[in-house]
Amino acid sequence: MNQNEIKALVSLLDDDDYEVINHIKEKIISMGDVLIPFLETAWENNFSPVVQRRIEELIHTLQLQSLQERFRDWKDNEQEDLLKGIWLVACFQYPDLDLRKVTKELDKIYHEVWLSHRAYASPHDKVKNLNNILFTKLGFSSNTQNFHSPGNSMINIVLESRKGNPISLCIVYMLIAQKLKMPIYGINLPNIFVLTYKSEETQFYINAFNRGLIFSRSEIDNYIAQLNIPTTNRFYYPCSNLEIIQRIMRNLVVAFEKLNEDEKARELKELLQVLDA
């Protein structure tokens, strides 16, 4: 369809016939997110609350449909790119979020750490330096007062507020550490997400939610024993980026359910199905 045909199609959204409206909506949705700019222009030029609401619903549906496709592509082809995965999560709430903006903010943090990073230092000293920059100089901290806030799972909000939950702080930590060639990965523990520094020579663990506290395998043993659950290797060894994104999405479902935003929780579950498939 050319632009004039698309404009004519969108103009029919002011029809009063329910069947006509449904047909127009189905036609627009079938054409995909390329129609979003036309819909946004139509919204600006229309002063009918009913039509504006219909346009808003269509834009949201198209954005969600596009996000499902991008998550599917990330899962199938780009799982190694954790930054893109966490950016896609934030796009659920902020559809116009520019990946370049997030990358630029992370690059600023990386530069701060790089200035005092010593490649020849011991693993523990490298971690202590990273802790000092992130948690002391830059002021990243755990958001204990609003632990279940959806913003704690949105990378743009975490970078802006310098506050997050265990997994979002770990993601920021990992992204910076891996850019510094530090072998730091996520550990999917029950009820909390932590990190491990794992090389051929050494392995220890890091709690980013507690200002980068370093701890040992025995403390994981004690933690699992307290929970009275069987121990498995996944409690000690790195998890995949897919598991990280799945977990942060599940956190978001809980966050929106606590806010009684059931529609958003439902949509997130649909996105999770794409990742779980």
Half-sphere exposure of 188 (CA within 13 A, CB side): 14
**CA separation, residue 122 to residues 135, 186, 208, 211, 261 (Å):** 20, 20, 19, 19, 47
Confidence of residue 50 (pLDDT cuts 50, 70, 90): confident
pLDDT at 251 over 80: yes
Q: Tokens 């933690």 appear where? A: 223
pLDDT at 164 over 90: yes
> What is the C-alpha to C-alpha distance for residues 231 and 124, in angstroms, rounded to an integer?
26
Query: For residue 215, what are the β-bridge partners?
Result: 205
pTM as predicted: 0.90
